[in-house]
């Protein structure tokens, strides 16, 4: 059984089944602002980045003022839809509870904003569940390893005892830069063929497989 102490989870596309909503909201914001509506796949490719970085990647011609207008429009659309929070993927709620019972330290490293993550944690009754959470607007955006380094420092865990679980290249590259092992999930935003290029320690098709592998 792998000897990890700390499990760090991405949020969107790893724990939460929110990819379709993110694509829809990004396209709605673009339509509202009269800018080109990007394809589903183009939007999926930036999920995991902080929102300003994601917008800039999709629209490199935008000024900072344009990016801020887009960010605000996106946030307005997202909040409206989040009156019904996106569900967890199958097995996530049970798995997180099992990891907690097993004694793992648990953390979230996400491209979401702090306000956005706190809102969804509150809706799911998980405000105090994780040992630490880090968001893109309070540290460096993925794949910069800063948020992982901050999580490691907070939990006082060596990189060799930590595991990053994510669905995007940004997650796996961030883990590699922080010298942390990674698990790639195949059910999120990116194809498993893309994720295998980052040499994850494990690839899973269902969240329950992580629980089995970790003996929880």
- Among 175, 163, 171, 213, smallest CA distance to 189 is for 171
CATH 3.40.50.1000 occupies which residues in the chain? Answer: 6-17+87-213
Domain 19-81 architecture: Orthogonal Bundle (1.10)
pLDDT of residue 216: 80
pLDDT of residue 44: 94
CATH 1.10.150.240 occupies which residues in the chain? Answer: 19-81
pTM of the model as a whole: 0.93
pLDDT of residue 82: 82
Strand partners, 202: 183
d(CA 159, CA 161): 5
Does the domain at 6-17+87-213 match CATH 3.20.20.105? Answer given as no
Residue 5's CB is within 10 A of a number of other CB atoms, namely 15
Structure tokens at 111: 């491209």
Query: Is the CB of residue 48 less than 8 Å from the CB of residue 10?
Result: yes
For the stretch 31-60, pLDDT in tens is: 999 999 999 999 999 999 999 999 999 999
- Residue 105's Cβ-side half-sphere holds a number of Cα atoms within 13 Å equal to 21
pLDDT of residue 208: 97
- Write the CB contacts of 15 (distance below 8 Å, at least 6 apart in sequence): 9, 88, 89, 92, 96, 108
């Amino acid at each position: 059984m792998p000897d990890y102490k700390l499990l760090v989870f991405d949020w969107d596309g790893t724990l939460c089944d929110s990819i379709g909503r993110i694509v829809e909201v990004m396209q709605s914001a673009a339509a509202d602002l009269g800018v080109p509506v990007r394809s589903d796949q183009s939007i999926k490719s930036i999920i995991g980045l902080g929102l300003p970085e994601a917008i800039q990647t999709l629209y490199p011609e935008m000024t900072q003022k344009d990016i801020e207008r887009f960010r605000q429009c996106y946030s307005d659309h997202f909040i409206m839809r989040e009156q019904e929070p996106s569900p967890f993927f199958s097995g996530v709620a049970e798995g997180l509870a099992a990891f907690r019972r097993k004694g793992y330290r648990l953390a979230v490293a996400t491209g979401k904003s702090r306000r956005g993550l706190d809102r969804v944690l509150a809706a799911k009754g998980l405000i105090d569940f994780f040992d630490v959470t880090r968001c893109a607007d309070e540290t460096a955006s993925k794949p910069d390893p800063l948020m992982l380094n901050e999580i490691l420092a907070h939990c006082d865990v060596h990189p060799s005892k930590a595991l990053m679980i994510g669905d995007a290249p940004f997650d796996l590259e961030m883990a590699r830069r922080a010298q942390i092992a990674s698990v790639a999930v195949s059910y999120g935003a990116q194809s498993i063929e893309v994720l295998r290029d980052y040499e994850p320690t494990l690839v899973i098709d269902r969240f329950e497989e992580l629980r089995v592998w970790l003996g929880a």
